[in-house]
Structure 1
Amino acid sequence: MKKILYTLALVAGLSSAARAQSDVSLGLKAGASYSNFVGKQTFNEEYIFGFHAGVFANIGLTNLFAFQPEIIYSQKGSNPNITDFKNRLHYVDVPLAFHVNANGLFFEAGPQVGFLVAAQQKVANTSTDIKSGFNAVDFGYLAGLGYQRKTGLGIGLRYNGGITNIPKAYTTGNVTVQNNVRNSAFQLYLTYSFGG
């Protein structure tokens, strides 16, 4: 009897593994970003346009749920409402999105970590490297919706919100100051999935 149960368990496990392998798709994504800085120490900041692009793996957990890790190059930043003035931050983001699926339509949410690779402040035609003034890692979250199948084109809209402050703390006398400034970005994108 035990041998039969072990055999059934082994067959069930192999069937699940085979199904899981066939329910993984890889894909590309790219689109526009509309980003800003938010927080107590921001002053009349305006949104600026940028772009993002990268790769993802969509892993079906059940018919209803999927896990989608991604690696995305993403432009973020803001315009502090001064003529010819922009702050532009460049990140490699790693979103860990959990999808709820309904025949291609999906809703998503999850955590995200971003790694700062460059930062510039542009005034008129002059660009200055300001990376040293920002934290190297940015923790945040994502939420969105869209339409994506295991094979072919898809579309989505996502919001990225920052949890951690992006400027580095600094010390003045005996006082350490940490400005409350976080990333905020909307992303509209197209995907192409290579089905599993």
Structure 2
Amino acid sequence: MKKITLIAIVLFIGIQSSQAQVKVNPGLRGGLNISTLTNIDDNNFKTDFYVGGLVDIKFNKYFSLQPEITYSRQGDEGREYFDNGSYRNVNYELNYITFGAVAKFNFNGGGFHLLAGPSLDVKVGDNYINTNPENYDLAFVGGVGYTLPNGLTFEARIKQGLVDIYGYNGFDYDDDYYYNDVILNQLFQIGISYTFKTK
């Protein structure tokens, strides 16, 4: 009985000490979006913004997991053609609420880090007239950043959508894959975040 009690106490102390090392800090993030859509002729990049919140779950000085929820204004600058051959430039909007979680790997426990993770994007608005883009996107995020001791972070990210915005899976009726026909979100983000220190 004494051995069981001793083992239980040791396990309890071990669990408590491991939990004490995990630090959970909320934060805010925002910045510049430079977005486009793949495989569309005569389109250009569109600049807009993103803003949201995060929770930094720091397991040790080398690794942390960061769930995020963000409002992201995306799309591209395309052309609308008329019957007489003329055209006008149009800013096509695809606005999402994104739910992501990035893993952050800190070099030598310092401020410089790499990050990567998935994202589920739910469309909350668009300005398309003749077509109806998909209501969601799945994406992969990768990037680099640097965090100052006061919690201010500077980051650059690339985000690649994985779902065709019109629902095309890239296959034709003969089961041949045509990547050049798939229209995907592509996004480059430059921004800052601030993590609040909690006790």
Give the TM-score normalised by structure 2.
0.82
- Bigger strand fraction: 1
What number of residue pairs does the alignment pair up? 177
SS in 2 for 1:79: strand
What stretches of structure 1 of length at least 5 have no aligned partner?
122-127
| Residues 30-81 of structure 1: CA deviation (Å, up to 9, x unaligned) | 1000000014xx2132111010000000101222111001000001111125
| Amino acid aligned to 2:29 | K
Please tell me whether the aligned partners of residues 150 and 194 of structure 1 are also in contact (alpha carbons under 8 angstroms).
no
Shift of 1:151: 4.1
Cα separation, 2, equivalents of 1:71 and 1:45:
29
The runs of 4+ residues in structure 1 deviating greater than 4 Å are none
What stretches of structure 2 of length at least 5 have no aligned partner?
80-86
Q: Which moves more between the two structures, 104-113 or 74-83?
A: 74-83
Cα separation, 2, equivalents of 1:46 and 1:94:
26
**RMSD, aligned CA:** 2.1
SS in 2 for 1:134: coil
Give the TM-score normalised by structure 1.
0.83
SS in 2 for 1:94: strand
Shift of 1:186: 0.3
Please tell me whether the aligned partners of residues 92 and 115 of structure 1 are also in contact (alpha carbons under 8 angstroms).
yes
- Aligned: 1:83 with 2:88: yes
Report the equivalent of 1:3: 5
Cα separation, 2, equivalents of 1:118 and 1:187:
20
Shift of 1:100: 0.2
Please tell me whether the aligned partners of residues 161 and 184 of structure 1 are also in contact (alpha carbons under 8 angstroms).
yes
| Residues 149-188 of structure 1: CA deviation (Å, up to 9, x unaligned) | 574321100111001111245xxxx9xxx96111000000
Cα separation, 1, equivalents of 2:25 and 2:157:
20
